[in-house]
Amino acid sequence: MQYDTIKPPHTSVLTQAVLETFLFLKSHKNPTLLDCTLGFGGHTKALLQAYPNLRVIGIDRDIQALNLAKHNLSEFGNRVEFFKSSFSSALSLLDSKSHLLGILADIGVSSMQLDDKSRGFSFESDNLDMRMDLDSQTDAKILINSASVSELEKILSSFGEIRESRKLAQAIVEFRKQKPITSARELATLVAKNISRQKSLNPATLAFQALRIAVNDELGELERLLDSIHDNHTSLKGAKVCIISFHSLEDRIIKSAFKQWSKECICLPHVMKCECGANNALGIASKKPIIPSPQEIAANKRARSAKMRVFQFKN
């Protein structure tokens, strides 16, 4: 496995805040944390170095990321276990004996994925793939060449918040009548020709983000992850859930789930008086999201839209 050790292929965001979130693990004997988005293993490495008793179960749906992480984390031996999986099904993979005290998810795309031209995530790519999981059926090329105008419009407006989404969807379908769209480069040119800049953003940035979210069902994955955590709350007593997101729609989903959990009554419907504890909450949600400092953003511009939220289940 080749990578530059001086300049790692991915710079983890908000690492200090992640370490502080899981500081409480220090007082546990053999705590286990689930890293739902191992990526290059940057967060996991920092956690394993800081907390010598910690064991990590690391998952990623990208086999290439998983292989790089295995290499990057080889010094920790059996303190890390690796699984190729989507995080929506991660909790069902774990054996019931692993009592998790931490769940970390740093959702979205890694720099390794963005920078590898063969993956088709960036404008300059001659490919148009964008799948995080190379075993999944639908890539960006299939989606862009088969979706109807209204399906494309919905993807571009909901996930990219593109104002001229109908115009762009129509232009894509018109272009397809001549020939299929086969590269990211071709798509980026088509976007630039048909829609104007929004704020200071290149419109192709928004269109690519929208397509990537659709190809990987990123919002559905997040919702299913949150549902599975909620469904397993009785075995997560005292655990902290820390999620870093990069898109306002994702942050909204996380904020609303945490808010719901922190209010929720878990008593059976026939119980007249609530018996499930103070304020009926499953735990406490952080009030405000944690965001990177200007210094972190200056050093790593991909950190600029990161937002981290934390929920702690009651003991």
Ligand X SMILES: C[S@@+](CC[C@H](N)C(=O)[O-])C[C@H]1O[C@@H](n2cnc3c(N)ncnc32)[C@H](O)[C@@H]1O
Handedness of CA 224, 225, 226, 231 (dihedral sign): positive
Type of residue found at 77: G
Amino acid at 297: I
In angstroms, the CA 144 to CA 169 distance is 9
Of 2-41, which residues contact ligand X (CB under 6 A)?
Answer: 10, 12, 37, 39-41
- Three-state SS string over 230-274 comes to HHCHHHCCCCEEEEEECCHHHHHHHHHHHHHHCCCCCCCCCCCCC
Residues 66-95 that bind ligand X (CB under 6 A): 86-87
With CB under 6 A as the contact rule, the residue among 31, 32, 61, 261 that binds ligand X is 61
Span of 104-112, 191-199, 270-278, 281-289 interacting with ligand X by CB under 6 A: 104-112
Q: Is 125 in the site for ligand X (CB under 6 A)?
A: no
- What is the nearest approach in angstroms of ligand X to the Cβ of residue 239? 18
- Closest CB 315 distance from ligand X, rounded Å: 27
The residue (of 8 and 238) whose beta carbon lies closer to ligand X is: 8
Q: How large is the greatest C-alpha to C-alpha distance in the chain, in angstroms? A: 67
Which CB sits closer to ligand X, 112 or 191? 112
Q: Which of residues 161-180 bind ligand X (CB under 6 A)?
A: none
Total Cβ atoms within 10 A of residue 17: 19
Distance of alpha carbon 21 from alpha carbon 240, whole angstroms: 8
**Residue 42 touching ligand X (CB under 6 A):** yes
- Report the relative pairing of strands 55-60 and 100-106 from DSSP bridges: unpaired
Of all residues in the shown chain, the one whose CB is closest to ligand X is 39
**Binding segment toward ligand X, per CB under 6 A, in 58-66, 157-165, 197-205, 269-277:** 58-66
127 binds ligand X per the rule CB under 6 A: no
Give the shortest CB-130-to-ligand X separation in angstroms: 11
Contact 207, 187 (CB under 8 A): yes
Give yes or no for residue 102 binding ligand X (CB under 6 A).
Answer: no
Provide, rounded to whole angstroms, the least separation between the CB of residue 271 and ligand X: 36
Residue 27, C-beta contacts closer than 8 angstroms, at least 6 positions apart: none
Q: Which residues bind ligand X (CB under 6 A)?
A: 10, 12, 37, 39-43, 59-62, 65, 86-87, 106-108, 110, 132, 221
